[in-house]
Homo-oligomer: A and B are copies of this chain.
Amino acid sequence: MTTMRIAGAQIHNNVGDIAGNVQQVAEAMQWAEQQEADVLVVPELALTGYPPADLVLHEAFIDDADAALAQLAQQSGRTTSIVSTIERVPPQRLWDSRIRRVGIVAKLLCGGEVRGTYQKRLLPTYGIFDEGKYIAPGNHPGAVWRIGDTIVGISICEDIGADEGPPEAQSIAGAQILLVPNASPYYRGRAEDRLANVRAIAVRNGLPVVYLNFFGGQDDVVFDGGSLVVDADGQLIHRCAEFVEERFCVDVPVAPRRPVAESVISVHTRPLPKRPTPSEPAVAPHRDELAGVWQALVLGTRDFARKNGFPGIVLGLSGGIDSAITAAVATDALGPENVLAIGMPTNEIQDEAQRHAEAVARHLGIGYTAIPLPPIEQALTRALQPELNRSTTAETTRGLEAWSRAAVLSAFADERGVLILATGNKSELSIGVAAHGDLIGGFAPLRDCPKTLLYKLAEWRNARGQVIPEPVLTKPPTAQAAEDIELPSYDVLDPIVERYLEQEARLEDLIAEGFDPATVEWVLRRVDDAEFLRRQTPIGVRVTRTAFNQDRRMPISNAWRPHRRR
């Protein structure tokens, strides 16, 4: 059976760091030459990082990417390196009145030259993606390339997302193998979805598929790696580990020769040499779901801190589960020596909670300092007393507490140049019960984690070294205790929110599914009303397909109030 030797480099996603990215790719190219690989594949936009957002509007940025590509082309040898970048393309006007001048491309580098260009056809413009805003689509989805005696198709990320798209066109044009550079961010269950899709593409087109992905955090998404090679029957040949750097080199059996379209472009016509198999392909075990979530939280937090120049982290530690998990994530991300937890006892926080906070800090080995809030609150209350005529409400008191905490954390952050982590979770954000001051920070790792998931994560993390004292996991959550209204339990709240955000669920649907009608009404109304609060919160790690402010974005000013039973 004819094989093609494919090298892959699952590299880190560094947006804007063209010089660093060139170095990553250049090293992978050298290594691939040493492996006598026929082809090297790297992720989508390996030269610019993903997503480049408004960077593609800067002419100087495009120039820098062009120069970087030229440099890599010069370094290319016998291996054909498929390197993705942005470049200027013939201007096009398509779905609106504006002209797009930049494409996402995969360049075929070989023998010191650029030997070909594939331009991405399908441009994701949904959820977190907005490529339609910046990018021009390619007009040759059926382009195929001769590399030695093998015909190769290249599709970029979204190109393989449709039932009928570039992979089908390339298969028809004669491709014997499909190479797919990707920038595919994590959500819970993404690895399974990805494997199923790649298998379907392979089987449908009778082609092996090589799928390369980034790893690393970029603002509010994390790329989880997990690059794949499947054969033409959809069998998994190789899988990279998730969330880490990895290179692989695999001899992939290509599909039998088919009639080839006349439009095939030759990269080179040297026959591919026969060589001993480089190494056994390996299928890295897929992490279980909780391990994946944890790793995403850690990597997202680490890379956000690192890329934005923060040497350490400060956060408030209350003795509750949210801040305990946030502290554990911070510790796993930056190391205990770079995390400082601040306990901020109030008159209302019992000694027990503070003991729990201290225990968490001790277990993690992080710094811990208690700053008593009452003197600060008293100064605030005294200063405000003459003016706040009415008896101070519980909300005002909680607000003053929250701002006092923000002021304390901010002082530490300013003094030490560290990043403040906010500790809010998705359940709170969904119904808007968090005080605004509690959402202050540069990053909120747990903002896309529902409370029910946090309990599971706590158990998962405790099983790998006790972090969170048992009583913290069993005592009633603070939000429920503190709110003036009676909250539904998280076991009820979280599934309603999830079903509502997954779009299909209407009020009637949820009631038909057995949820209490009054509860459903209350939750749906709160979800819509809380957009005002949510828009003012820091970004955090996307963990689901329905992250607020990313996948889901309601108008803040929104008069639609459908949540009455009819």
Beta-carbon contact of B557 and A15 below 8 Å: yes
Among A15, A161, A308, A555, residue most surrounded by chain B Cβ atoms (within 10 Å): A555
From 431 to 447 in chain A, residues with beta carbon under 8 angstroms from any chain B beta carbon are 436-437, 440, 442
How many copies of this chain does one complex carry?
Answer: 2
Is B96 within 8 A of A53, CB to CB? no
Q: Which of A231-239, A378-386, A475-483 contacts B (4 or more CB under 8 A)?
A: A378-386
Q: Is A14 an interface residue when CB atoms closer than 8 A count as contact?
A: yes
- Kindly specify which of A27-35, A54-62, A352-360 makes contact with the partner chain: A54-62
A261 interface residue (CB < 8 Å to B): no
Let me know if A411 and B388 touch, CB within 8 A: yes
Hey, which bits of chain A sit against chain B, CB under 8 A? 14-18, 20, 49, 51-55, 57-61, 64, 93-98, 122-126, 129-133, 137, 158, 161-162, 165, 217-219, 303-304, 307-308, 369, 371-373, 375-376, 378-380, 382-384, 387-388, 390, 392-393, 395-396, 399-400, 402-404, 406-408, 410-415, 436-437, 440, 442, 503-504, 506-507, 532, 535-536, 538-539, 552-562
Question: A53-B554, A219-B557 provided; 5 other pairs, C-beta below 8 A?
Answer: A49-B559, A96-B122, A376-B383, A436-B440, A539-B556
Closest to A552 in B: B54
User: Which of B125, B378, B383 meets A372, CB within 8 Å?
Assistant: B383
Among A57, A98, A371, A506, chain B packs the most CB atoms within 10 A around the CB of: A98
Contact yes or no, A96 B552, CB < 8 A? no
A399 to chain B, nearest CB (A): 4
Tell me if B96 and A161 are in contact (CB < 8 A): yes
A542: min CB distance to chain B, Å: 14
A243 to B446 alpha-carbon distance, docked (Å):
42
When chains A and B are docked, how far (Å) is the Cα of A47 from the Cα of B414?
Answer: 49
A171 to chain B, nearest CB (A): 17
Minimum CB distance partner of A532 in chain B: B308
State which of B161, B308, B375, B392 has its C-beta within 8 Å of the C-beta of A383.
B375
- Pair A54/B307 contact, Cβ less than 8 Å: no
A96 contacts B16, CB within 8 Å? no
Q: Which of B55, B58, B390, B552 contacts A415 (CB 8 A)?
A: B390
Nearest B-chain residue to A310, judged by Cβ: B532
Are A123 and B96 in contact (CB-based, < 8 A)? Answer: yes
Inter-chain contact A387/B407, CB cutoff 8 Å: no
Complex alpha-carbon distance, A509 and B197, angstroms: 47
A442→B532 contact, CB < 8 A: yes
